[in-house]
């Protein structure tokens, strides 16, 4: 097999695999896009901000930003009161969260996470200061975040998880296969060096740091060995292209393609449609419609406020609600409304 034949074979394999990944993700997207989205003025009954975030974002869940919407959600239901003590937020417990059976919630796993977090906040005192959180509280919060991220990987359904595993496995196999063939051809251990970008592509998903902070890790762990392969080993240009493309496809698969596979069951798909409809209503509703809802339910603003964070629309909704003066009691926000909706 000559150099061009190796190059052509590797390009065909990578091309077919990439088309397969795109086709699967496209089928997943179309299925979610076509779900019936009835008009919804509220979040689905029994769904807290965490529940709604899991349904809406699935693997893309940003669990680190869940504390503020949770505090607002608890406050709206009369469990806590929130004040500004001049340095940070002062959260006062009014009553304990009830057992799951009495909560009206639909998912016990997410409720248990919230219950654990709530108990840790008020385990010693009835007042919790955000700037004076104990290390144990921080550990509990981090554990809750990790549990939410774990649950987010299950939202896509069994079929979605299988497709994700298959994509990652095949991408890694192709990278090793192409590296192995070239190693045999030029009689150099390229395939072993390929371990670094392959392992790095998988490890990067488990790093707790934000994405922008993960880049240096990938550049050192995977980029340096890859550059060594491409520029220090004597090989044909076509071989270099093959190696580079195999790593590129691997990174795209692990970071993008495998993360987009979503084949949740019909029941969860219907809930997804309701959550999407709720977000759409909030973003497109005009001032008159929102005023009518506030008149019908003076607490409407407070009922939907926690979900602004879930959808990332706090600034947009502030512009809308700044034109509307809620008639409901500022029973748990008081003078910190501008802090929470900024």
Beta bridge partners of 129: 90
Supply the pLDDT for residue 204: 67
pTM of the model: 0.80
* Angle (CA) 295 301 302, round 5°: 125
Structure confidence by residue, pLDDT tens digits, 240-252: 888 888 888 988 8
Structure confidence by residue, pLDDT tens digits, 169-210: 999 899 888 888 888 887 777 777 777 777 776 776 666 555
Structure confidence by residue, pLDDT tens digits, 125-162: 898 887 777 777 778 888 888 888 888 888 999 999 99
- The confidence band for 214, taking pLDDT boundaries of 50, 70 and 90, is low
160-168 — which CB contacts under 8 Å span 24+ positions? 160/28, 160/261, 160/262, 160/263, 160/264, 161/261, 163/24, 163/258, 163/261, 163/263, 164/258, 164/259, 164/261, 165/258, 167/21, 167/24, 167/253, 167/257, 167/258, 167/261, 168/202, 168/253, 168/254, 168/258
Q: How far apart are CA 179 and CA 226, in angstroms?
A: 11
Q: How far apart are CA 274 and CA 276, in angstroms?
A: 5
Q: Report whether pLDDT(61) > 90.
A: no
**Cβ contact 77:102 at 8 Å:** no
Supply the pLDDT for residue 129: 84
């Amino acid at each position: 097999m000559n150099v061009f034949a190796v190059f052509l074979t590797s390009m065909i394999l990578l091309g077919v695999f990439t088309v397969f990944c795109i086709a699967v993700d496209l089928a997943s997207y179309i299925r979610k896009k076509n779900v019936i989205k009835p008009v919804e003025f509220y979040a689905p009954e029994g769904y807290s901000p965490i529940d709604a975030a899991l349904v809406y974002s699935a693997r893309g869940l940003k669990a680190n930003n869940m504390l503020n919407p949770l505090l607002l959600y608890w406050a709206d239901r009369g469990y806590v009161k929130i004040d500004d003590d001049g340095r940070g937020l002062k959260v006062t417990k009014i009553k304990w969260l009830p057992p799951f059976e009495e909560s009206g919630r639909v998912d016990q796993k997410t409720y248990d996470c919230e219950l654990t977090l709530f108990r840790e906040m008020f385990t010693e005192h009835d007042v919790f200061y955000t700037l004076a959180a104990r290390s144990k509280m921080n550990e509990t919060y981090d554990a809750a975040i990790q549990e939410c991220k774990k649950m987010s990987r299950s939202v896509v359904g069994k079929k979605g998880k299988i497709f994700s595993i298959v994509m990652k496995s095949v991408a890694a196999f192709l990278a090793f296969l192409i590296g192995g063939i070239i190693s045999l051809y030029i009689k150099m251990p390229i395939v072993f060096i390929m371990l670094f970008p392959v392992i790095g592509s998988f490890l990067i998903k488990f790093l707790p740091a934000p994405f922008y902070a993960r880049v240096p890790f990938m550049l050192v762990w995977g980029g340096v060995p890859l550059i060594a392969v491409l520029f220090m080993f004597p090989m044909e240009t076509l071989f270099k292209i093959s190696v580079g493309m195999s790593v590129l496809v691997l990174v795209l698969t692990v970071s993008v393609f495998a993360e987009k596979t979503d084949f949740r069951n019909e029941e969860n798909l219907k809930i997804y449609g309701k959550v999407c409809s709720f977000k759409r209503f909030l973003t497109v509703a005009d001032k008159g419609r929102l005023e009518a809802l506030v008149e019908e339910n003076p607490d409407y603003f407070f009922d939907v406020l926690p979900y602004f964070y879930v959808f990332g629309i706090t600034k947009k909704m502030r512009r809308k609600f700044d034109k509307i003066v809620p008639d409901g009691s500022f029973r748990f926000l008081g003078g910190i409304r501008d802090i929470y909706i900024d």
